[in-house]
Amino acid sequence: MTTLQNKTALVTGASRGIGRATAVALAEAGAHVLVHYGRSKQEAESLVVEIQKKGGRADAISADLGTPDGASLLAKQVRSTFGDRLDVLVLNAGISKAARIADHTVAEFDSLFATNVRSPFFLVQQLLPVLGEGSSIVAISSLGAREVVGKPGLENASILAYASTKGALETLVKNWAAILGPSGIRVNAVAPGIIDTDMSNFTKTEVGREVALGMQALKRIGKPEDVADVVAFLASDGARWITGASIPVDGGSKL
């Protein structure tokens, strides 16, 4: 049984999708959860109420992680809420872009890296003073970090720029794990396959569904809760000997 009694947790991008399910899972395991959101104040606040109604502890905080000072503004709010201790940090907020190689723009490329790589990098930097022995960081990577997803071709939309942000994130995870291990801080990634959220709307079409199921051993579309349960495990003492890992959570994709 996963337990996070008396632990503090921050989940970025927690108003919907995988972040929301993760905030619920951590709160159900007993953690006091900070539900971070960018623009979706109403959804974040309704999640806080939902968690509190079930007897859990949660607060909502906002910061735009696409801006240069977003991570440090968020870290300041976390420190002023929790004081000197953050036990669980889930780096979940992210954006995606599918386009033909020819259609990718510099602005979109920069925005992908700002949100998916720069903000986790500086959030960890700014939160270091409140992370310590027993703290756990979990980054939400992607199957795309290691496998080419979709049908390759110059005329086909591809997520190659997005995928490269997740490759960078996994490189950070390994380096953080090595650097922070001696301080007793564990750092891992989970690499979801296709999960039913706003980010993967294409699975709502018959063709999209077929593509997804065609590459998976398990024949259903993954749910946010499938990822959240693994994050909650990695955050718990049950995973005390796991660090620097990337755990696929993809129903056996591309085996």
Q: At what angle do helices 224-235 and 17-28 cross, to 10 degrees?
A: 50
Residue 141 a catalytic site member: yes
**By CB under 6 A, residue 15 contacts ligand NAD:** yes
Task: Select the residue whose beta carbon is closest to ligand NAD and give its number.
Answer: 17
- Which one of 17, 30, 56, 248 is in contact with ligand NAD (CB under 6 A)? 17
Residue 198 binds to ligand NAD (criterion: CB under 6 A): yes
Cβ(157)–Cβ(102) below 8 Å: no
Asked if 25 and 52 count as a contact pair (C-beta separation under 8 A), the reply is: no
Is 199 one of the binding residues for ligand NAD (CB under 6 A)?
A: yes
Would you state the structure tokens that stand for residue 237, as one six-digit string? Answer: 């003492």
Q: Tell me if 92 contacts ligand NAD by CB under 6 A.
A: yes
Instruction: Choose the binding region for ligand NAD from 2-10, 88-96, 171-179, 231-239 (rule: CB under 6 A).
Output: 88-96
Q: Is 46 a catalytic residue?
A: no
Residues in 58-77 that interact with ligand NAD by CB under 6 A:
64-66
Catalytic residue among 15, 37, 136, 166: 166
AA identity, residue 240: R
Least distance from ligand NAD to the Cβ atom of residue 206, Å: 18
- Nearest Cα neighbor of 144 from 101, 193, 99 is 193
Q: Cα–Cα distance between 74 and 191 in angstroms, integer?
A: 24
Q: Is 142 in the active site? A: yes
DSSP element (H, E) containing 88: strand 88-91
User: Do 247 and 234 meet the contact criterion of CB atoms below 8 Å apart?
Assistant: yes
The CA distance from 210 to 113, in Å, is: 30
Binding of ligand NAD by 208 (CB under 6 A): no
In the complex, what is the shortest distance from the CB of residue 195 to ligand NAD, in angstroms, rounded to a whole number? 4
Of 19, 120, 248, 251, the residue at the interface with ligand NAD (CB under 6 A) is 19
Distance CA 61, CA 202 (A): 30
* Cβ–Cβ < 8 Å for 99, 156: no
Please state the closest distance from residue 204 (CB atom) to ligand NAD, in A.
Answer: 12
Q: Which residue from 11, 169, 173 is spatially nearest to 86, judged by alpha carbons?
A: 11
Applying CB under 6 A, which of residues 8, 135, 136, 142 lies at the interface with ligand NAD?
Answer: 142
Q: Which stretch binds ligand NAD (CB under 6 A): 46-54, 98-106, 197-205, 240-248?
A: 197-205
Could you tell me which residues come within 8 angstroms of residue 148 by beta carbon, excluding any fewer than 6 positions away?
163
Q: If binding is defined by CB under 6 A, does position 13 make contact with ligand NAD?
A: yes
37 has catalytic annotation: no
**Annotated catalytic sites, by residue?**
141-142, 162, 166
Residues within the interface to ligand NAD (CB under 6 A): 13, 15-19, 38, 40, 64-66, 92-96, 115, 140, 142, 192, 194-195, 197-200
